Structure 1
Amino acid sequence: MHDFDASAALLEQVNQALNSSTPLRIQGGNSKAFLGRKVVGEVLDTRAHRGIVSYDPTELVITVRTGTPLAELQAVLDAAGQMLTCEPPHLGATATVGGMLATGLSGPRRPWAGAVRDMVLGTRLITGFGKQLRFGGEVMKNVAGYDLSRLLAGSFGCLGVITEVSLKVLPKPRQSLSLRLQLDAEHALAKLSEWGQQPLPISAASHDGQALHLRLEGGEGSVAAARERLGGEPLDPLYWQQLNEQELPFFRDPRPLWRLSLANNSPLLTLPGEQLIDWGGAQRWLKSSASAEAIRTAVAAVGGHASCYTAGHCDSPFQPLAAPLLHYHRQLKAQLDPQGIFNPGRMYAEV
């Protein structure tokens, strides 16, 4: 581990960019560079700024610099029997904590344990005024500025350079068991809807087109009782990691990859291509050569939205914003980055 506070150098680079009106392309390990629109700008690399700032396992809070490799953060937590409950995907060996926060992506446990933004207690941010500001706190009781810190989750570097984050962590479950149930997708969605009303210790639910995969987590008694009730065959728990890291055979299909986000009880969508269900139905992966318009029309009909995960395939990889939402995005951008130098256009062409 190499702990190093490079915030002064990052701040200097931002101030130079502000003085010369040079756009900056903020990046860490670049493992998620395929997401969003292409950014043209001078590279601001966060990886020298790394290390754990503070961690007391009894407080269930860790503060870490954003250039820290995500694997390094998880190894420190793992050694203390703790974890990031949102199960963020790495999507490459070089993933950093900053990339985890900027993309806001969460893994299979998301519907039961919350998203990346729910783990964020406080942040430090270099703004478009050339200042390093601190938002929120390092303890759960401090809620001052809480919402701005949470807004940074999923902001794709468009609001500033996040230099540090304090995250809520939790103990790992005492027991974990994965099951495979032979059900078609339609019956699986109906069952998941029914089980959602009951106190079952489900922490992941996915349908790969062939069978329903479940993960049960909690105390030994509740996991054993749920196993007894649900039946099914044991499943290799590696499945969840392969799903999270997009390493299942499904993801090798050469067609563009779309992420569909919708209500978990939405019916099966009739779209050309193959679908894989995650998050108990709330996240669906689609491999399809259908047009962006056709996919978004079908998803909008059930109140959802669609993002394209294949770089360069679509000019608006993220669902285009309705006028009122775009107005808020522009206002927020103007407040934090008035010169528009941070990752311009990464999320939307207009911002």
Structure 2
Amino acid sequence: MHRSSVIRSFPKGVTQPKTSRDVQCIIRRQLHTPPRKRIALMFPGQGAQYVGMSADICAKYDSARHLLSRISKRLDLPLQDIMWEGPMDKLMLTEYTQPALLSHSMAIVQVLKDEGVLDFREISAVLGHSLGEFSALAAAEYITAEDAADLVRCRGKWMQECIEPDQIAMAAFMPIDREKANVLARESQSSTGKICQIANINSPSQIVLSGHVEAVEKAVQLGSESSLGFRCKSRRLNVSAPFHSSILKPAAEKLREKLEKIQIHRGRVPIVSNVTHERVQDPEEIRRLLSEQVTATVMWHDRVEEFVEIGAARVLSGLAKQIVPSAVCTSIDTAEELSQYISKKKGI
């Protein structure tokens, strides 16, 4: 009775042992196999950009420099010059911002892979904030870095074509929950006749509204008062388009058509969708969700224990700590941080 219960307790997929020696070998192997960690790789979206991205990394790692050269050639664009020298006004144009941020993240990923410290057996999922979802897909090998850069450059260009300068805005509100944010957006739209919608649910207490400048400014005003029965602080975001609002519907349609021509593989690990906040691996479902994501609310959360943020700034690590206070967060943005992470993973 005791022996049979031991045999049935072995992990699924392990060959049933025939002798006591087999039992000892399997137990020893299980005891010495390190436990799988629940790590999520995170990739930032627009707003994290800065002049000088990847310059130090490319100076230290040839593989990063070669990757950026391939992407620049694919886009027929002096991307390194824009990333490293700016000016900021040019880098802020969304058709440049998006491929620049993606390329910065992918340069880091390339180095991690070349150094042998990106182990997908340790990774539970990848996730990206808005634009960062394309970086996540490339990192997990759903699409190539070059295809991802091409997609986001077109995505940014088409978004820019949907708007008139100075006519759009986005603002982050805190502390606020989704119910109150809906009230704020609804009242702002009603008062101005313009679009104001929830763009990002970044954490349980931070939500971003997006739309026409008159409506978003009205939401800022209403939030600072008590007329709706609550008050909240707000911060205007430095963006060039009303991301995740219905204003960008024409861009979503064009992206959907382009995605039909891009080969999407089944990636190494699931990606957490911005639209559904569920883990996805099916290429056709990913194709659909990427186009919907242009106008849909970003649902930003996941249940993991360790986050590694790959790319510019450290915005997502802060949001992760708000959502999962016990989470361990690591940010990799500079050559020094990249070198430290590689040394840590190699046990140097």
TM-score when normalising by structure 2: 0.32
- Higher-Rg structure is 2
- The structure with higher relative contact order (CA 8 Å, sep 6+) is 2
TM-score when normalising by structure 1: 0.31
Larger proportion of strand: 1
Larger proportion of helix: 2
